[in-house]
Amino acid sequence: EIDLALQARYRSSISREASLAIDQQFLVALETLQNELGEGSLSSAIDSFFGSFSELANTPSDTALRTIALQQGEVLAARISELAAGYDGLASEITSGIENTVDAANELLEQIAVLNGQIGTYEGMGDEASELRDQRDLMVDQLSQLIDVTAVEAAGGMIELRVGSIPILVGDSSRGLQTHREIDADGVVGLSVQVAQDGSQLEVTGGSMHGLLTQYGETVAPARETLDTIAFALIHEVNRLHSQGQGERGWARLVGTVPFDAPNLPLSLGGAPQFPVEDGRFTISLRDPESGEIVDGFTINVDADTMSLQDVVDAINAGSGGQVAAAIDGDGRVELTASNGMEMTFSNDSSGFLAAAGVNTFFTGSSAAEIAVSSVLIDSPELLAIGSGDVAGSTGTALAIAALQENASGLLGDQAIGDYWSGAVGTLGIRTSASAGMFQSSSLVRENLAVQMMSVSGVSMDEETINLLAYERQFEAAARYLSVVDETLEILMNLV
């Protein structure tokens, strides 16, 4: 007779081992994607990017170093985007795994329901159904690999299967499982499992289903969010500095890289689509391209609570005295054109408007999937901002960007960009190591309980081993017989 308490512990161990196996699989997969110990890691790309600006600040006249700084920016952006795509691939793999696991669980539930009904019928008539019970037990064991279930004895030899306190199989009827998706206010997709019959939410605590849900919600989705946070901070911090810096030459015409969906809405109330704008000011100067001298300039005051993009454009037109024509193009982007053959430079932006509008910026995009180096800078490296304050020979902007390697960002909880990433990598490494140990322990527990189950059920391990050897010899004999038949047929075919 089966020890029901031991059987329950055994099935629980199956569920735990299956869950931890999934944990180990995806934690290792995430570490492999990051490849922090190999070439081309994100950490090395961050260091090389900021290092290139440090070298450029030391030798600002070296055009090759300008190109290298832009190339390092492209490498960094590509690595971030590559990681984002890899994370998205893992998320898709997990989503498919959850759906496939639900399908497999439903198939087992249907088969168990049929066996349940047959057992109830046989034993209700006073007949034994030990073989059917064995089949059912085996299927419940298999189901335990997918999702943690508790079997409760019911009338007539049948069982009721529950996840937590919620029944998923009653009598000869499966209530079915289904995947549920929910998108929160931030657009993050959450996954869960419900009872198909009434939508009851299941609190899954074991089985491969638990591992998949855990890895989606606690590993892959947060890792993607961390990468987006780093990309957003990198783009904002670099653009904030670059937008108010000056290159070897100025801009005759410039189109911002950020489209505004609501150009008439106050900047602090959603009028600025991605990056924050606050009360402050910025300066637009006019430079003679022949002499490189600043010949004129004007300052625009920004009130983020009352001014819209259109108001800022109007202020530029009014303040420039006709020397700069400002407009909003058909895509909602700022368009600035200098008159009389002059070039524009930008400086002293305390409002953040220039970076928010994508004016004179280094990066485009706002997330890990979108980040890229401005194509205008790639085509015209002389526009790369090195100086600051419209001071000839200054390297202030290059130095400030290089200092971001060590300087804390408020967008990252007052951590530097590299430190924030290193912290995330370190946390993953600790989790992966701990997961490996827990998986090994769970396997030992499950194996030990399996031995106890065999002992209680009266199965002789020696006898089973002898039977397995006998079956193996029979298989080998059959294989040899088929081989001889095949060779004989081949000889006969050749004779014909």
Q: Where are the domains of the chain?
A: 1-245+396-459, 252-359, 461-496
pLDDT at 83: 96
- Pairing outcome for strands 253-255 and 334-338: antiparallel
pLDDT at 440: 86
Is domain 252-359 classified as CATH 2.60.40? yes
pLDDT at 486: 66
pLDDT at 490: 64
Predicted confidence (pLDDT) per residue in 108-141, tens digit = 999 999 999 999 998 888 888 889 988 999 999 9
pLDDT at 444: 87
pLDDT at 472: 60
Residue ranges for the chain with pLDDT beneath 70:
1-2, 186-187, 271-272, 457-496
pLDDT at 38: 81
Q: Is the dihedral of CA 41, 47, 50, 54 positive or negative?
A: negative
